[in-house]
Structure 1
Amino acid sequence: MLQLPDHTSHSARETLERCARAYFLTRVAKAPQAPSLWLAGGSAVHETTEFYDLLRVGEAGDGTPEELMAFEVAGIWESCFNVQLGKAWEREDDESKWRSSKTEPIEVWRSMGLQFVQAYIEWRERSPWEIWIAPDGQPAIELDVSGKLPGCDVEIKAFLDRVFWDPVMKKLVIVDIKTSKKPPKTAAQFGTYAALLKVKYDVDVTMGAPFMNRKAALGTPFDLAEYTPEFVGEIFAAAWKQIQSGYFPANGFPGECFICDVKSSCAAQNGPLAPQYDPASPGYPPPF
């Protein structure tokens, strides 16, 4: 029997907003998701940069970050990328069925991903910003700030790529690492994180910015002043109410369906797996 999730997240709410049917298929029906090369590469970049920053704050291994990373960054990247590729192959061994860009196949990603990692490391070495240490002693590297917000009784899962302390402006800055070509269009992700940080640690964060690996620089920062716990809690409460209603129309923009990882299970896309996973399919439910 299908069950609704017991938590939500920014990405879940974003999926719901983009296409409610896609949310249902991924989060409720658990339809198989086609692997994507860009997600595998992006995850490996995140893992490698995370290892680097943990070294910088003394949370991983022995020796200085400079000594270790000078010799091992390429090897760490390669190892992380291979692990992510292995996970993708486990889900689908036919690479032609993966979501990927024709101009960025696996071998291009092998060199490009390493460049993305090096771009981040070079920025970190130039920047005066420091990894923030939370009141409970946790360095703000993949920091877990999951919790509930006012007006919303469901847990919101959130892991922040980084929170930095700017010693010049004397303020905290949320940074999210982005290997995509385009920067985020809105402040919603950063605002969600700021609200959860406020609830968990009682700190105010009024700025968030993406680190755009392809440009080796921070993107345009977002002002987060309006994203109070109450404001964000109201947004998530409305989304959770929609989820509980059980109404999941296929309302995505047609031009975006090509990047959807569950379109093979979507009746609106005539997906071959739709009779197994999509209640809108004439053949649903499956006879087993």
Structure 2
Amino acid sequence: MSIETQPRSVSQAQQYEQCGWRYYLQRVERVPPRPAAWSHHGTAFHAAVEAYELSERTMPADQAVQLFSDRYSALVNAGLEREPDTDRWLAAGLPGGADIERRYRLGQDQVRAYVDWAEAHPTETWKTPEDKPALELYFLVELGGVNVRGYIDQVVQDPDGALRPRDWKTGTTKSRFQLEVYTVALRKAYDVEVNKADWYLAKNGGLSRPLKMDAITEEQVAERFVAMDAGVKAGDFPPQPGFQCRFCDVSHACFFKSNLSGNLK
């Protein structure tokens, strides 16, 4: 499937808006990205928490932590095969090797903290009409004539019966747009009521404040997808060099990149 015809996603839309040239290098030219421990950290944390929730919160904390450790180690080892020089890994504030080690311990602590939090805060994961727990829930909906797909980390059911999409975050960057898309997708795919959304923030060991979603409309969300879809189909990929170049995993192939690219060589 070509880039012009494939379904869009939140990450595509946000990446295109932040820097169209990064979108082009990564998704059209298929430039091999530099590895980043923060990405492996997030993936492994999600895997451990999903498994814990799928066990209906019966999985022992030690087992969940071990699952994180195994997944993180496997991802890092695969990354080291592609790029053995850890000084060339993306990292924030630390050399690449030190960041890899720090996130191993941090992720273990965050998984254990999630289990502690979950035991103190009972949550009912919604089940789809097919009786499947809404964890890593896939959706594919049409918004403004554009096919949009994605995965929702968790959908919980509030006491009043309304559904609430929840995103698990290990980093500091949060996207309200992501939760808005999840809200609209749930309404459209399942004809359900969704008035709130939130994040589980691993850095804080708890939930964010609920975000009100009752006023969010399909038309509002669709507008951004329609704009990026039109830009991609027109071959318009405007570069926006700046501070974000420091965290761009394809900046090594970019001649627009800012000189603020930190530890990248």
TM over 0.5: yes
1:227 CA displacement: 2.6
Q: Which residue of 2 aligns with 1:201?
A: 190
Aligned pairs, number: 255
Structure 1 CA distance, aligned partners of 2:243 and 2:32?
21
Letter in 2 for 1:215: N
Structure 1 CA distance, aligned partners of 2:100 and 2:224?
38
Q: Which residue of 2 aligns with 1:255?
A: 243
Q: Is the 8 A contact 1:13 1:236 kept in 2?
A: yes
Find 1:152's aligned residue among 126, 136, 145: 145
Q: Which residue of 1 aligns with 2:40?
A: 40
- Is 1:239 the counterpart of 2:228? The answer is yes
Q: Which residue of 2 aligns with 1:284?
A: none
- Deviations, residues 89-113 of structure 1 (Å, cap 9, x unaligned): 2332221111113446222212110
Give the secondary structure class of the aligned counterpart of 2:8.
Answer: strand
- Deviations, residues 109-128 of structure 1 (Å, cap 9, x unaligned): 12110111112222222223
1:152 CA displacement: 2.1
Find 1:268's aligned residue among 253, 256, 259: 256
Find 2:207's aligned residue among 194, 218, 236: 218
Q: Which residue of 1 aligns with 2:71?
A: 80
Structure 1 CA distance, aligned partners of 2:39 and 2:141?
26
Unaligned runs of 5+ in 2: 260-265
- Deviations, residues 136-185 of structure 1 (Å, cap 9, x unaligned): 22211000012222x223x2121000111122x442211101111x252x
Q: Which residue of 1 aligns with 2:17?
A: 17
Q: Is the 8 A contact 1:187 1:224 kept in 2?
A: no
Identity level (%): 28
Q: Is the 8 A contact 2:124 2:157 kept in 1?
A: yes
Q: Which residue of 1 aligns with 2:163?
A: 172
Q: Is the 8 A contact 2:7 2:148 kept in 1?
A: yes
Q: Which residue of 2 aligns with 1:278?
A: none
Give the secondary structure class of the aligned counterpart of 1:174.
Answer: strand
Alignment of 1:91-170 (within 5 A): 91-103=82-94, 105-149=99-143, 151-153=144-146, 155-167=147-159, 169-170=160-161
Bigger radius of gyration: 1
1:233 CA displacement: 2.1
Give the secondary structure class of the aligned counterpart of 1:156.
Answer: strand
1:207 CA displacement: 1.1
Letter in 1 for 2:88: K
- Deviations, residues 190-219 of structure 1 (Å, cap 9, x unaligned): 010111111211112121111110100112
Letter in 2 for 1:22: R
1:49 CA displacement: 0.5
Letter in 1 for 2:151: F
Give the secondary structure class of the aligned counterpart of 1:121.
Answer: helix
1:223 CA displacement: 1.5
1:70 CA displacement: 4.3
Unaligned runs of 5+ in 1: 57-64, 272-288
Structure 2 CA distance, aligned partners of 1:83 and 1:121?
22
Q: TM-score with structure 2 length normalisation?
A: 0.89
Q: Is the 8 A contact 1:131 1:164 kept in 2?
A: yes
